[in-house]
Structure 1
Amino acid sequence: MRFLDYEKVINMLISFIQEKVEESKVKGVVLGISGGVDSATVAYLATKALGKERVLGLILPYYINQDVDDALLVCKELGIEHKLINIKEIVDQFEKSIGFELDRVSKGNLMSRTRMVILYAYANSKNYLVLGTSNKSEFLTGYFTKWGDAASDYAPLINLYKTEVWEIAKRVGVPERIINKKPSAGLWEGQSDEDDLGISYQLLDEILYRLVDLKMEKNKIAEELNVPIEKVKHVENLVKRSEHKRRLPIGPEI
C-alpha cells in the first residue's frame, strides 16, 4: 500500500471540514453514526474541526443491537448532540404502502435511503451540511446504496482506503472495540462487508491501489501479491459494474 503521513492527513481532513463549512455559510454538520469505524472516524474529525456544539449525530437503526450501543458510545465520548430514531416503522410502512414484499437487498437499500432522507431533513432545518462516511474501498467497488449512504454534501474519507481509515481511527481516538469489530453495513442481521465483497479489506485495498492508482496490469498485480489472477479479475469486475453508481445520470450528447 501507499505510504501516508497520517498526522498530516488528519490535519488535512480537519481543515477540509472547516473550510467547507465556512464556504457554505452553514452553522454545522450532521452525520449518520452507525457504530462502525467509518462514521465514528468522521464524527471524531468533525468534532475536532468544529467543536462538539456544531456536530449532530443521528443514530438510525432498523435493528437494535450492539451497533446502537457503539454509536451511542461515540456520541457520548465526544459530547455531541445526538438523536436515536428507529427507522423500522418508517421502512415497514413504506413496504406495506407499495403493496409487495421487498427482497433483502431492496429492503436494505430502502433503509439506507430512509436514513438519507432523515439526515437531509435535519440538515435543512438546522442549516447544516451532511457529512458522508463512505471510504474509497466502498466507493470504487460500488459497495454503497445509490442515493442512500453515498448521498452527502461532502465525504471526508472518500479518498482513503478502508485500511487507511482504520489507521486514522486509531490516531483520532475512536474506541478500540469499534476499530476491531467486523465491518458491516448493518442492512440485515449477520451481514458482513467482507462476505458481501467476497474478499478481505486488506487484500481488496492492495489490489485496488495497484489497479486504480498505479494502473498496473492484472497479471502483474497477481504476481506481486502472490494471489490468483481470479481475485484481481473479481475486484476489477466490482469496479466496472458499479461505474454508474459513481456518476450523475448521463444522456446522449445532442
Structure 2
Amino acid sequence: MLDLRFSERELARQRDHITQFIRDRVDAAGADGVVLGLSGGIDSTLTGNLAVEALGPEDVHGLVLPATVSSDGNMSDAERVAQDLEITYDVIEIEPIVDSLLTAYPEAEGDHEAVGNARARARAVLNYLVANHENRLVLGTGNRSEAAVGYFTKYGDGAVDCHPIGNLYKGQVRQLARYMGVPDELVDKTATAELWADQTDEDELGIGYDTLDSILATHIDGPLSVAATARLLEVDEATVERVRGMYERSDHKRNAPPAPEPLG
C-alpha cells in the first residue's frame, strides 16, 4: 500500500494547523468553547486531544452517549479519555430517545440501518442541545477517509459545526494520535461506529483502511486512473471501482441539499 505517513515535522505542522483551526472557528462564532461526542474510538479521542490543546480543558465539554449496542469497553474508554483530558463530561443514555422514535414508528423496528442512523441522529440532537445551552460549537470527529466514501450518518455524526480532522486519512489519524501521546491500546483498537451489535467499520465497508486510504489518495484525490491505481497498489480494478462508486453515490452527504437554479 501507499505510504501516507507524515514526517515528524509534518506531524507538528498538522497539530498546530488543526489547533489553530479550532481556535479560529470558536473565535469567529463568538462561542465559549466546544462540545464533542466521545465514543472511545480513535477519531473522537484525537479530536478531544486537539481541542484541549487548542482551547484548554475548561472550554471542552465531552458527551458519552451510550446505546444498548455500545460495548462496555468502548464506553469505559470514552470516559477514560475525558478523565485523562480533565474535561467536564456527561454520560447520557440515548436508547430511551430511540425507543420513543420506534414507538412512534414501529415499522422500523429491526431495521439495522434505519435504527442505527436514528441512534447517530439522537446523539447529534443531544450534542446541539448542550452546545446551544452553553454557547459552544459542536466539533465533528469524522476523518477524510470516511467522508470520501460517505461512511457517516447524514444529519447524524455529519451534523456538526466543523471537522477538525477532516483533512486526515484514517492511518494519519492514528499516526497523529500516537504523536500526541494517545495510548497505543486506543490508537490500535478496532474501529466501530457501534450503530448495531458486533458492527466494525472495515467489515461494513468491505475494505481495510490501509487499502481505502491508498485508493483515495491515488485515484479519488490523486491523478491516477483506475487501472494505474490497481497496478500501483496491487489490488483488483473492481476494488478501485467500488471505492469510486461509494465516493460518487455519497456526494449528497458532503454537500448542502440542492435547490433548483433560479429562473431568469
Pick the aligned partner of 2:227 from 219, 223, 226.
219
Pick the aligned partner of 2:39 from 34, 38, 42.
34
- What is the CA–CA distance in structure 1 between the aligned matches of 2:139 and 2:95, rounded to whole Å? 23
**Residues 128, 112 of structure 1: CA spacing in aligned structure 2 closer, same or farther, 3 A cutoff?**
same
Where structure 2 has 5 or more consecutive residues not aligned to the other structure, the ranges are none
| Contact 2:4/2:172, CA 8 A, preserved across alignment | no
Q: Does 1:100 align with 2:107?
A: yes
Map of 1:45 onto structure 2: 50
Pick the aligned partner of 2:167 from 144, 159, 166.
159
Map of 2:20 onto structure 1: 15
- What is the CA–CA distance in structure 2 between the aligned matches of 1:44 and 1:70, rounded to whole Å? 14
Cα offset, 1:175, TM superposition: 2.2
Cα offset, 1:100, TM superposition: 2.1
The one-letter amino acid of 2:26's match is V
| Contact 1:74/1:174, CA 8 A, preserved across alignment | no
The one-letter amino acid of 1:94's match is L
The one-letter amino acid of 1:77's match is D
Deviation digits for residues 129-168 of structure 1 (CA, Å, limit 9, x no counterpart): 0000000000000000000001110110111110110001
- What is the CA–CA distance in structure 2 between the aligned matches of 1:245 and 1:18, rounded to whole Å? 26
- How many residues are paired up? 254
Q: Secondary structure at the match of 2:259?
A: coil
- What is the CA–CA distance in structure 1 between the aligned matches of 2:212 and 2:242, rounded to whole Å? 10
TM-score (norm 2): 0.94
Where structure 1 has 5 or more consecutive residues not aligned to the other structure, the ranges are none
4+ residue stretches of structure 1 with deviation over 4 A? none
TM-score (norm 1): 0.97
| Contact 2:35/2:136, CA 8 A, preserved across alignment | yes
| Contact 1:26/1:128, CA 8 A, preserved across alignment | yes
Deviation digits for residues 70-105 of structure 1 (CA, Å, limit 9, x no counterpart): 101100101100000010111112111223233010
| Contact 2:149/2:247, CA 8 A, preserved across alignment | yes
- What is the CA–CA distance in structure 2 between the aligned matches of 1:239 and 1:162, rounded to whole Å? 16
Map of 1:185 onto structure 2: 193
Deviation digits for residues 27-80 of structure 1 (CA, Å, limit 9, x no counterpart): 100000001000000000000111100000000010352110010110010110
Q: Does 1:202 align with 2:206?
A: no
1:94-173 paired onto structure 2 within 5 Å: 94-102=101-109, 103-173=111-181
- What is the CA–CA distance in structure 2 between the aligned matches of 1:2 and 1:200, rounded to whole Å? 15
CA-based RMSD: 1.1
- What is the CA–CA distance in structure 2 between the aligned matches of 1:155 and 1:231, rounded to whole Å? 28
| Contact 1:44/1:173, CA 8 A, preserved across alignment | no
